[in-house]
Amino acid sequence: MLVFKFGGASVKDVEGVMNLKSIIQLYENQAILVVVSAMGKMTNALEEVVKLFYKKEEYTAKILEIENYHQALIDALFQDKTEITTSLKTHMQMINDYLESIDKQKYDEIYDQIISHGELLSTLIISNYLNQEGIKNRWLDARKYIKTDSTFREAKVNWDATQSSLDLLEPNANLFITQGFIGGTSDNKTTTLGREGSDYSASILAHCLNAESVTIWKDVPGVLSADPRLFTEYQKFDQLSYSEAVEMTYYGATVIHPKTIKPLQNSNIPLFVKPFLHPEEAGTVINDGEFLQKNIPAIIVKNNQLLISISTKDFSFISELNISHIYEIFAKLNLKCNVSQNSALSFTVCLDFDEMKFEELIKSLETLFKVKYNENVSLYTIRHYDANILQKILEGKIVILEQLSRSTAQIVVK
């Protein structure tokens, strides 16, 4: 079985959905499991609904916008749109009913129950469209197969339960269409695996089904040494080792979700990153080989970072005990520390800014420490850096934190 993953950008419009169809047609005699994200920016739009609801603001206009977006795609793709339009309306009703019925649920739980409709809708539309076009397929509800705990928004996979449910999957179709990003708990609540988690879904499914390979179809020619939206100079890697790919994604390379590589590495399944507009191109293969292009530095930029400087209230040194308290607060709020540095009197840490957690974070830290922070800074990570590239990148920027190891430079700038 081949596992294909199509992200939101690849199915954002009618052309995208038709392109997905033509890629699948290239692999006619193969068994394929297709994992699809929510279309276009629908996850962001659904996120907006949850935020508005939580702030007790009007959210129905946003729901209508989401419905209209899907309806426009349906109108353009389907000859007979009755059935699929009913499904769309049912999902919109489910969102409304859920928001009207909830009582004491926490933000993260509400988030997952709402946000998951993006993937459910995209796969319903694509599966029905392919069937209409004579490409017979079976729609799978990923929540029945990817079993997780109930850490909403960052669910942990229960590998034994996931393996057992996938063992029961009858290979009664050559083509399966399922959702990325979402899973289900043992008591049938919907969970999500973290933003951009569809790649990880593809990898979980490939691992448990012992797939031949995974292909992530992207709007770039493969894994690039820098983001083409930010840099004019970049190169495509033809091949990367699993370890190098893990490092790059851990530091924030958004081309693949960080958790994607490990399950593939463990079962030695190659991961291809290919351009969806040029499926004949080789793209990048991530496999067990050596990292072949060590002399190409890889630049990873994370914007919208929060740099916090924490010191003790009584001017005592920052001790291990203090640091463990600080990390406890991060862990409780499920925040990932991107880079940290400590001196005798302060501990400085760079995190992804999260609007919904910011206040609680600062409040929790301030109960024990003195806290200063800078919002909206950027973190540059350069793998296999040299003096030249550092100079080029940092020109005109104010460096507020710098950390160099043998292979990796991490620099926070304003």
- Indicate the residue among 180 and 297 with the shorter CB distance to ligand ASP: 180
Binding track over 87-126 against ligand ASP, x by CB under 6 A: -------------------------------x--------
By the rule CB under 6 A, 7 interacts with ligand ASP? yes
CA-wise closest residue to 86 among 101, 74, 73, 69: 74
> Which one of the spans 35-43, 161-169, 213-221, 375-383 is the region binding ligand ASP (CB under 6 A)?
35-43
By the rule CB under 6 A, 269 interacts with ligand ASP? no
Of these, 37, 190, 309, 311, which contacts ligand ASP (CB under 6 A)? Answer: 37
Residue 201 CB, shortest distance to ligand ASP, in Å, is 8
CA-wise closest residue to 369 among 331, 299, 321: 321
d(CA 276, CA 268): 24
Q: Pairing mode, if any, of strands 213-218 and 271-275?
A: parallel
Residue 97 CB, shortest distance to ligand ASP, in Å, is 22
d(CA 255, CA 273): 9
Of these, 108, 112, 196, 244, which contacts ligand ASP (CB under 6 A)? Answer: 196
By the rule CB under 6 A, 198 interacts with ligand ASP? yes
**CA dist list (Å): 403 to 40, 209, 342, 379:** 36, 41, 11, 11
Of these, 11, 24, 33, 38, which contacts ligand ASP (CB under 6 A)? Answer: 38
* Contact call for residues 121 and 70 (beta carbons, < 8 A): yes
Where does 239-368 show beta strands of DSSP type E?
239-241, 271-275, 284-287, 298-312, 337-342, 346-352
By the rule CB under 6 A, 222 interacts with ligand ASP? no
What tokens does 92 get?
């919109």
Residue 119 CB, shortest distance to ligand ASP, in Å, is 6
Cα-based angle 343, 348, 349 (whole degrees, multiple of 5): 145
By the rule CB under 6 A, 195 interacts with ligand ASP? yes
Which residues of this protein are in contact with ligand ASP, per CB under 6 A?
A: 7-8, 37-38, 43, 118, 180-181, 195-198
